[in-house]
Structure formats: structure tokens, C-alpha cells
Structure 1
Amino acid sequence: MFLIGEYEEKELTVLSEFAIADGIFHLYGQEEKRFQKRYLRILKMRGTSFEQGEHMFEITPAGIEIYPRMKPVGKELEYEVTTEKKRFGINGLDEMLGGGLPEGTITILSGGTGTGKTLFALKFLLEGAEKGEKGLLLSFEEPLAQLKRNAYSLGWEIDKYLQDGRLDIRFISPIELDIDKHAFEIIDMIEKNNVNRFVIDSITSFESSIVDLQKYKDYIWAIAQELKRRNITTIFTVLTENPFSPLMVSKAQLSFAVDNIIIFRYVESNSSIKKAVGVLKARGINHSRDLRKYEITPNGIDILGKLNETNMLK
């Protein structure tokens, strides 16, 4: 039997009918960044365990859809570890990584605006497509037409991979995003398309839609665990506020959830601005500690020599 009523939240702990009830579901709405969202909380359920916290739900023409809160798994994550490497297909960078990114790991590409993070991530997916692997890019910044234009400008073939299904690019507005619903959509897309390589561009734009920072960190940790468990090699791009900063990764301090961090930064030398790339962190890899110059040209991405001018490291 269900008893349905309208109550203020403070009444749920004092009225007598709630004392005798075996289960209590609290449904409520709240405004988040100009959007009204519905949530469900299970406050009580005798004789069984239940998921605490806020669970978003929607009422649609298809019925009621509930998106349980994404949360980190407390126990040790169990997943298969392989020795296979996933290459970028960029000579020099793959060498810096000892042959590429370890399969099934999570990597941050962190850098200032215009440093080419999206292009490096896109090249990673195209390299996989060339080898018959399926890639998925979720873009919160650039629509498909703009990404295709950028690929054309570097001489990269992209249309054939989009047409044969080896590459899928989706643009999502971060303004209308709910992280719990989004997590289920990510996993659904990955499973339906048997994705091997996955990119979110950028986590920074995604972060701008979040009200609760702790909920956001829990989401990143939880989705990283789900991707690792499925052995998906993943890249998150992150925009840093200071493009000349050598060590800034992200304001939300997401390095705890990832295995590898590659930084891109500008350096000043002799009144000119150059670009440099370095591997800041790579778990289980004997990676290069060098900071190397790179250029993005009509022929692609070229990793150049070691950056050794001391004034560039200031």
C-alpha cells in the first residue's frame, strides 16, 4: 500500500505516519542553473539496503526514467590489466610514452587555449580507427563540422571513419547537462558501439555546468572506474587558466582519478612564443621527463627537440 501526500522535508521526521511506514520515498524538485530538475531520495526501507543520496528522474512520454546517483565504488576495482599500448600515431609523443598509452588507462591532456589538446585527442582516435578500433568523442566545445574542418586542415582523413562507424563524434551542450543522466548515456553509447578509445573534450566545459563540486569529483572517479572495468582507453582534455603555467592540471584537482597526465604549455624565448609538451605522470611507464617543442602544421603534428633553454622553464 502506498500513502501519498505533500509534506515539507522537516515533517518527514516528526509526523506519526512516517514512524509506522516501512519505506519512505521523498520526491522533490529544485532549480539548477535556470533548469528545474526532479530528484528522488529513499529515506527509509525496512529489511533491505538501498542507495542513499539524490537520484535524478525524468517524466517522459515513455514513462518515468530514474538515473541512480553515480558514486565511487568503495571496494578495490577488479579489471584486467594488459601490456598493450595505444599509440597516438604522433612520432616523438609515442616515444615519450614508451610506445603509447597503456590500454584501459585514463589520461588527462592539460593545457591552455590554442595548445592543440583537441587535435592530439582527435589524432588518438584516428590512429585507433586506422587499426580497426572504434572511437567515441564527446565534445562540449566544438561541433562536428568544426572538428572536421580542423582535421582537413592537417590533412587527416576523417570522413571515411565517420561513415563506416569506426569514429563517432557527438556534440553536447554543457548548459543542459545532468551528470548522473550523462554517465548512463556514456556507458550506453560505449556498450552499444563496442568503443575501444574514448575522449571527453573538455572536462573543463563539463565542470562549468556542475553546482556541487564534490558530486562532480565523485562522478569523475565513478565514471573512470566504469571505463577501466571495460578496458576503455580514455582521454579527458582540461583547459588551464594560465597557458604558461608548467604544472597546473585542473582547478578541480582531478589527478587522483587518472593514470597519466600530459601537459601542453606555451613558453617564451627571444621575444617569441613556442609550444611545449611533457609527460607529467604516467603510471607503470618508464616515460620521458623531457619537455619537448612541437608544431602544428598543414602536414600534421610534429614533435621537435628537447626544450633546454633555462629561461623557458620560468
Structure 2
Amino acid sequence: MASTKPSIERLPTGVPGFDKLIQGGIPRGFFVAVVGEPGTGKTIFSIHFIAEGIRQGDKNIYVTTEETRESIIKQAAMFGFDFEKAIDDGKLVIIDALMGRHDDPWSLTELDVETLVNKIIEAKRYLGYGRARLVIDSMSAFWLDKPAMARRYSYYVKRILARWDFTALLTSQYAVTTSLGFGFGIEHVADGIIRFRKAVVRGELRRYVIIEKMRQTEHSLRMHEIEIRDGVGMRVKAPTQLRKEDTALPQSVAAKMLAAELQKLLEVPLGDEE
């Protein structure tokens, strides 16, 4: 008797051309690392993910650490997504972790992972029961002064929030010089890794995406070029002929920079691990 594969519920990202690379969407309950250098499209990808959640009737929470709530709302509007209405309708909570307003119930006054998790749970209770989408943009802000704690913090966030029916995107900044992750944390606990890149090709800035990992998924192994347009947003174009090495530093240079980053981690006092 032929065996049948268990059905996997997948959440579409809302990015044209992307979902076909991951068999229709991100498996429900996954925590996915969205990584890359500044300016590669991580926030716009996350906005699409939340906008699609609003369209599908999911509960949606967006945590912003490097931009204000107003900035996220304006960016979404540029691509035709009305986040302000979704907030008024009780379909979306944007937690502002940048401004730290004490008079704002959806604001973080300090960048602490326990405070973050408690606020996200509070937002989920406010939105009510049901399938939920979460974006934390970015996780890097929570370990800027303690890079050696990145993995522990990432594990804590996933362990607690996985009980609340979240499918989550956790963005992480990569260094411009090395294209390396800061803290080496999220990737180790993530169910999937979506990596964004950029390169100047014949004098023109181009952006790319590659799925480096997605459990329970036969995902594309090719790097694809992406396009970002006002009024439209992000879309995935054809596979590129460029190799990963074509958009990275020479291996010898990257190795030296990686060694320097690791040395910084080793120099963190042991007391910071407590």
C-alpha cells in the first residue's frame, strides 16, 4: 500500500514569484530567519508577509526596532497596503521598539528579549484566537551590546512564542563589509533561512534572494533576482546566472574578517553570559 505524505499547511508570503520557490508558502508554525545586508529588501519582504496575513484574516504582529511605527505604515502604503486601517480594524498590532514611548501601550521602553516576548503575547491576546503571523525586524537590535548572547536570545524567543501559533519572520542584519551575520544566532534555531543579497552589476545595483534552508520543503536552490517598485512592492524575477561568490568578498578577505568577528565574541566577558 502506497504511503501518503502528511499534509503541510503553508502560509503564502504575498510576494509574487516567491511562493513557488517553497512549495506554496512557509509551513505553519515555522520560525524563519530573513537575513542580509542593509538595503537588500528584508523589511519590504516582511511587509508583504504581514499584508498577505491581513488579506487572509490572520492575526498579525509587526515588531519594528530600527524604524518607527509611522515609517512602517508609510512604506506599506507605498506598495498599496493599508496598515493603518488594519490597525483600526483590530487585525494588526505594530510594536514600536525604537521610540520607547511610555504613553504608548504598543511600545517597548527597553530592548530586552523578555520584555519583547511579553509584549508580543499581550498583542496576541488583544488580537484574539487564531492563526497568527509575526515579524521581528530586527532581532539584531536585541544583542548589539552582547553578541555572544545571540543564540540564547533567539532560542528563548522561539521556545516561548512557538506555543502561540505564530508563523514568524525574524530579520537579522548582516555586515556590509563581510556579508556575515552579527551574533551567529538566528540561523541556528530557525526552521528556514531566506537570504537577501545585493551587488553592483555593470554599474547597476541589483538585489537577489536565495532560500538557504526550509525544513519539510523541496525548495529552490537557485539564486533569483528580485525587483522592488513603488506602488507594486517586491517580486521575484528569473534565476540569475551569478554565483554566490560573485556577490561576496574574496574568500581570503572574508576569512580574515570572520576571524576578527569571532575574536570579538571571544573577548566578551564571561559575566555577560549570565
Q: Hey, what does 1:302 align to over in structure 2?
A: 235
Deviation at 1:237? 0.7
Aligned twin of 1:197: 133
> d(CA) in 2 for partners of 1:263 and 1:85?
19
Question: Which residue does 1:289 correspond to in 2?
Answer: 221
Q: In 2 relative to 1, CA 212–266 (structure 1 residues): closer, same or farther, beyond 3 Å?
A: closer
**Aligned pairs (5 A) from 1:195-234:** 196-208=132-144, 210-211=145-146, 213-214=148-149, 216-234=150-168
Deviations 1:182-214 (A, max 9, x none): 322322322332360011110112222x54733
Query: How high is the TM-score relative to the length of structure 2?
Result: 0.77
Q: Which structure shows the bigger proportion of residues in helix conformation?
A: 2
Question: TM-score w.r.t. structure 1 length?
Answer: 0.67
Contact 1:263 1:279 in 2 (8 A): yes
Question: 1:156-192: per-residue Cα shift (whole Å, max 9, x none)?
Answer: 2323212111111110137822333332232232233
**What corresponds to 1:118 in structure 2?**
43
Matching residue's letter, 2:197: R
The residue correspondences of 1:91-240 to structure 2 (distance < 5 A) are 91-173=16-98, 176-194=110-128, 196-208=132-144, 210-211=145-146, 213-214=148-149, 216-240=150-174
Flag the 1:146–1:172 CA change in 2: closer, same or farther, 3 A. Answer: same
Q: Give 1:243 shift.
A: 6.9
Change (3 A) 1:191 1:218: farther
Q: Unmatched 5+ residue regions in structure 2? A: 1-5, 99-107, 249-274
The answer to whether the 8 Å contact 2:73/2:82 transfers is no
Q: Distance between the aligned counterparts of 2:7 and 2:118, measured in 1?
A: 26
Q: Which amino acid aligns with 1:203?
A: M
Give the structure with the higher percent strand: 1
Give 1:150 shift. Answer: 1.0
Preserved contact between residue 293 and residue 305 of structure 1 (Cα < 8 Å): yes
SS at match of 1:88: coil
Residue ranges of structure 1 left out of the alignment (5+ in a row): 1-80
- Partner residue, 1:273: 205
Q: Give the deviation of 1:229 after TM superposition.
A: 2.5
Percent sequence identity is: 26
Q: CA RMSD in A?
A: 2.3
- Greater gyration radius: 1
User: In structure 1, what is the Cα distance between the partners aligned to 2:82 and 2:146?
Assistant: 39
Change in 2 beyond 3 A, CA 1:86/1:244: farther
Q: Is the 8 A contact 2:44 2:233 kept in 1?
A: no
Q: Equivalent residue of 1:83, what SS?
A: coil
The partner residue of 1:89 within 4, 9, 14 is 14
Question: Which amino acid is the alignment partner of residue 228 of structure 2?
Answer: I
Name the SS for the 1:176 alignment partner: coil
Partner-residue secondary structure (3-state), 2:51: helix
Deviation at 1:313, TM superposition (A): 4.6
Higher relative contact order (CA closer than 8 Å, sequence separation 6+): 2
Q: Which amino acid aligns with 2:214?
A: A
CA distance in 2, matches of 1:254, 1:149: 28
| SS of equivalent residue, structure 1 residue 182 | helix
C-alpha distance in 2 between matches for 1:223 and 1:250:
17
Q: Which secondary structure does the structure 2 equivalent of 1:265 belong to?
A: strand
> Could you tell me how far apart the structure 2 residues matched to 1:168 and 1:140 are?
14
Give how far 1:283 is off: 0.7
Q: Secondary structure in 1 aligned to 2:241?
A: coil
Cα deviations by residue, 1:210-263 (Å, 9 ceiling, x for unpaired): 54733x532321220222232210111111113783xx3443332121101100
